[in-house]
Amino acid sequence: MVVPEEHPANYLARGFSSAYLSRYFGGCAAARTLVLSPQAGPAIDAPDLSVPALPGIEPMQAWLHAAHLLPHHVILDRAALAAGWPGIPSAWLEYLRQQRPSWIRAYGARWSAWVAIQIGEALQLPVVASVHNVHELSRDILPRADVVIAVSEAVASACIAAGCDPGRVVTIFNRVDRELFSPQGEAADGPTGSPRLLCVARDAEQKNLDRLLAACASLLPRFPGLRLVHAGKSSRDWSKWPFVTHLESIPHVQLPAWMRWADAFVLPSLWEGFGIVFAESLACGLPVVTSNRPPMNEIVTDRWDGLLCDPENTADIARAIAELCEPATRARLAAPARTASEPYDIAVIEAREAALYRTLLNPQWPKLSVVLPTHNRRHLIEAAVRNVLAQDYANLELIVVDDGSSDGTAELLDSLCNSLGDARLRVLHIPNGGLPRALNRGFAHASGELLSWTSDDNAYRPGALKAMARELMLDPAVGMVFADYEIVSADGTRTPTRAGPASELAARNVIGACFLYRAQIARDVGAYNEELALAEDWDYWRRIAAVSRLYHLKRTLYDYGDTPDSLSRTRPADVMAAAMKVRGVPIPWTPEYHSHMVRLAGAYKTQGLPGRALAAGLRIVRHKPLSASGYKAVVRALVPMPLLRMFRRVRGADAG
């Protein structure tokens, strides 16, 4: 059951087919969809889709109509809606009940979500709210939905900021029919000239057309044949822009032909919820110039399938367009564009959406085991335990492994077990043997289908485990999911940190500290390597990546404590040396390995190991005798630390 913010007939008027509507509203082939729209409109006969006239109950019709006509900038709050809500008439509710819906979905985060929530609560149905824009999100409405579908991670972040539980927010991109949007086919009969640019957008502040037109005009002396086709509703006088051909609209089915006519798609939006035209352009093999802001920079990769620019800088917009006007650059960016559109393929999106609906119909969350190793951290361990147990994930077990603590940590854990009386908590006491050994002992006692581990100076954010577990439930091909985090320093300073991409895992540890993987994958790759302490995690992720797909959830779900007594602070050189064991010594000596050796020499010196720092510096000199960095490392190793600190203070004062 669907409550849209506009009548489906409006989509047909814009050139969408009835078959496309069935897939758009249905989401999966097995669904029969009933669309409830307060707007008047014709009946629609489409496969598995019905748009009936609502029962003739005037108060309900009047209220729905009034809610729909509220200005778009009005954010509906619960009190305002309740004041105008007459209650669902029994006859109308009975009609809905007779349809036997499995769930109800609102397309929008305003009045349509409110209507869906009222119906869902009355019929005891799960409610899904689709959010397509980062604006106009109501804290009084949206958090009441059972699941919130965001069309991009930018929208997902806005939903979480509006009060939604991160575990209930799922990102499902807008879909692209890549059979329709394809490089193959006829091109539109557009204006002659070169380069040929296409822009499809309504003429609104958000779309940033004033700066785009100014940027194009500034390029005419260099590219006198430049032609821009703009399609979208507009009231401006286009005669002032003689290089522009303005079309009030292009039917959806004709849009691919115009994309095949163009050399590039240009739209430096100030903001978007998703921006389907960017993905459709890539599907046609058309490189894109757009904003360097999310979600545009999530769809288009700078200098790979398009060019990103500062949307508030006309000169930078012109710079990007000029680069794309060069035939060689255009051809290089066009080559991977079609492949880059694969994540938005309609079949991929429908499979993800269908998997989400299956979780609604069978809401059984798999058991999840978290291992928490600790050693002499009495001052931190209770907060860490309570943080994990506070996660909104019912089917959870926490296994704390006391790795031979001697500071009272063991006694505190036993006392905590007794006082909490929580059956989900178990404590293991083992002789001190290091982190990888503690992890292996902990996971040997784990019974969950999903596994993770955390540290006593870190913390999950609310909904973190559920958000990651849902991703594994939505795609059986994914063996491990990892998320972004914030580094929290001792003085409380927070530094947002983006994990990934997984493609760089072979070269460096990009997973971070927030992750979840399947127990079956753990059985396939075996235990953590106890010979690789301080880099056991990187080695393990590389082994998982060799047998399964990793998914990066681009969402901040974790606080990473940068405490003074952490291993990365107290033993930086040992951490780097362990990482070098995982990587192995490359032959020949690579620039990446060279940079790593320079950092290692500095870390040894900082840790108070000048002999090791000198050995690392001499090794750099031996392999790269013409590199100044090796000689600097040698000198730094030989200079006493007090003198070195004085030099650093002087340089800092000079810089100031």
Establish if 156 belongs to a structural domain.
yes
Shared domain check, 640 and 600: yes
Token output for 490? 């001792």
Establish if 81 belongs to a structural domain.
yes
CATH number at 402 reads: 3.90.550.10
CATH number at 102 reads: 3.40.50.11930
pLDDT of residue 87: 60
pLDDT of residue 5: 77
List, for residues 336-367, the tens digit of each pLDDT value.
Answer: 999 999 999 999 998 999 899 888 888 789 99
Rounded CA separation 305/26 (Å): 31
Establish if 183 belongs to a structural domain.
no
Shared domain check, 526 and 394: yes
Answer for the pair 600, 579: CB distance below 8 angstroms, yes or no: no
**Stronger pLDDT, 119 or 461, i.e. the higher one:** 461
Point out the domain boundary residue: 120, 136, 171.
171
pLDDT of residue 655: 40
**Stronger pLDDT, 307 or 503, i.e. the higher one:** 307
Half-sphere exposure (CA, 13 Å, Cβ side) for 369? 21
- The band of 507, judged by pLDDT with boundaries at 50, 70 and 90, is confident
- The band of 573, judged by pLDDT with boundaries at 50, 70 and 90, is low
Point out the domain boundary residue: 566, 593, 608.
566
Answer for the pair 466, 167: CB distance below 8 angstroms, yes or no: yes
Beta strands 104-107 and 288-291 are unpaired
With vertex at residue 120, the alpha carbon angle to CA 114 and CA 121, rounded to the nearest 5 degrees, is: 95
pLDDT of residue 78: 52
Establish if 35 belongs to a structural domain.
yes
Strand order in the sheet with 147-150: 2-4, 104-107, 127-131, 147-150, 169-171
Range of lowest pLDDT (13-17, 92-96, 599-603, 647-651): 647-651
Shared domain check, 545 and 462: yes
CATH number at 252 reads: 3.40.50.2000
- The band of 134, judged by pLDDT with boundaries at 50, 70 and 90, is confident
* For residue 653, pLDDT beyond 50: no
Shared domain check, 510 and 636: no
Shared domain check, 203 and 94: no
* For residue 294, pLDDT beyond 90: yes
Rounded CA separation 444/612 (Å): 37
Establish if 66 belongs to a structural domain.
yes
| Burial state string for 535-556 with b = 16 or more CB within 10 A and e = fewer than 16 | bbbbbbbbbbbeebebbbbbbb
Range of lowest pLDDT (20-34, 422-436, 479-493, 496-510): 20-34
| Domain span including residue 632 | 585-655
**Stronger pLDDT, 21 or 590, i.e. the higher one:** 21
Establish if 246 belongs to a structural domain.
yes
Shared domain check, 225 and 279: yes
Establish if 359 belongs to a structural domain.
no
Radius of gyration of the chain (CA): 29
Helix (H) or strand (E) holding 516: strand 515-518
pLDDT of residue 592: 65
Angle at which helices 314-325 and 209-219 cross, to 10°? 50
Shared domain check, 644 and 534: no
Total count of domains within the chain = 4
Token output for 135? 């604006």
C-alpha distances out from residue 490 to 306, 383, 493, 495, 534, Å = 41, 16, 7, 12, 22
Q: What is the mean pLDDT of residues 387-396?
A: 95
Half-sphere exposure (CA, 13 Å, Cβ side) for 319? 10
Token output for 363? 């809401």
Establish if 333 belongs to a structural domain.
yes
Half-sphere exposure (CA, 13 Å, Cβ side) for 528? 23
Shared domain check, 142 and 50: yes
Point out the domain boundary residue: 127, 155, 171.
171
List, for residues 426-452, the tens digit of each pLDDT value.
Answer: 999 999 999 999 999 999 999 999 999
Shared domain check, 210 and 92: no
Shared domain check, 514 and 409: yes
| Closest C-alpha to 148, from 128, 162, 133 | 128
C-alpha distances out from residue 35 to 24, 44, 124, 568, Å = 12, 10, 18, 55
- Estimate to the nearest angstrom the gap between the alpha carbon of 280 and the chain centroid: 20
List, for residues 41-80, the tens digit of each pLDDT value.
Answer: 677 766 677 776 655 445 555 555 555 554 444 444 555 5
Shared domain check, 549 and 420: yes
Shared domain check, 297 and 408: no
